[in-house]
Amino acid sequence: MSIGIGIVGVGMIANFHARAIADATGAHLVGATSRRPEPTAEFAKQHQCKAFDSLEAMLADPEVQAVAICSPSGAHLDPAVAAAKAGKHVIVEKPLEITTERCDQIIQACDDAGVRLAVTFQSRFHESSRLMKEAVEAGRFGKITMGDAYVKWFRSQEYYDSGAWRGTWNLDGGGALMNQAIHSVDLLLWLMGPVVEISAMTATLTHERIEVEDVAVATLKFANGALGVIEATTTAYPGSLKRIEISGSHGTAILEEEDIKQWQFAEETDEDDSVRQRMAGKTETGGGAADPSAIGHHGHTMLFEEVIASINENRPSILDGHEGRRSVEVICGIYESAKTGQIVRLS
């Protein structure tokens, strides 16, 4: 049975959700809603779906079994909770919300309603990311000593000026970290495990009329004893592909967007040469480094298919609310450390 999905919010990212739903096996787009009738109507015409005049109308439609939340980051809570209370499964564009307290409210609402919750960290589905994860779990790095994430992107002043919510604490929840680098933070935590200590600095160096950071640097201590760095910026012209580096006593691997740039282990396997050749040149887009629309939707498609499977199999999604919360907790910890000048310790 195909799962009917409604979309809340019709900004840029909603188009990627619509295309992904169209390509996903077992799903179909029912309709969309937003606070702006004209863009909603245009979106519905483009994607050949219904234009609902309110969230309440969408949630009342029995064909809508799941809701994808594509509103600004700090406006995820209310529609997610409303959807859960209406018995609809919930898919939330990253971040889950902009504070851990708001994340917890969404998680609790979905648990109380017995509906599935998933967060769109689609980079986890890329083959290169899965290969990195498998190498970690197989112990191929030996004692892991460092885990680093670098997101040196570029966003113009016009980008921030294009929406009143952009660059605000209330609706963006943060800057280069919460909006742009959060995919890499999620991947780093997925590969390295929990963070226990954070020391950080942030700054706003080149953009005007924004409240949030356009540069951030954090040092991390992971629960496994390894150390790491997160660097994030939206003022590194012309923008570079995001990068994850994992190093240990027996190996190093470097992931650049969907490419594996280095794959070296003390104990080589028959597959390693194939990985190095196959995973070079995999990235087909700019990865959002300079243009937020320059991404593919194939990762979103895989995510929707995972959510559909979790619904049909009556199990939590592998990207459930607890997974979505982790990156928000670390980023909020970075902001706290930068604000106070103190080391922040996470439980």
Domains of the chain listed by start with CATH number: 3-123+297-320 (3.40.50.720), 124-290+328-345 (3.30.360.10)
pLDDT score, position 1: 79
Collapsed DSSP state (helix, strand, coil) of residue 123? helix
From residue 7, alpha-carbon distances to 30, 92, 131, 141 in Å are 8, 10, 32, 41
Beta carbons within 10 angstroms of residue 6's beta carbon: 26
- H/E element holding 47? helix 37-47
DSSP 132-201: HHHHHHTTTTSSEEEEEEEEE-B--HHHHHT-TTTT-TTTT-SSIIIIIIHHHHHHHHHHH--EEEEEEE
3-state secondary structure 56-118: HHHHHCCCCCEEEECCCHHHCHHHHHHHHHCCCEEEEECCCCCCHHHHHHHHHHHHHHCCCEE
Half-sphere exposure of 257 (CA within 13 A, CB side): 18
Collapsed DSSP state (helix, strand, coil) of residue 224? coil
Q: What is the pLDDT of residues 126-153, one digit of tens each?
A: 999 999 999 999 999 999 999 999 999 9
Residue 283: name the closest of 271, 272, 299 by CA: 299
DSSP 293-332: T---SHHHHHHHHHHHHHHHTTS--TT-HHHHHHHHHHHH
From residue 65, alpha-carbon distances to 52, 172, 204 in Å are 15, 28, 42
pLDDT score, position 318: 97
Q: What is the pTM of this model?
A: 0.96
pLDDT score, position 286: 67
pLDDT score, position 294: 65
pLDDT score, position 52: 98
pLDDT score, position 285: 66
**Segments of the chain with pLDDT less than 70:** 285-287, 291-295
Distance CA(182)–CA(327), nearest Å, equals: 7
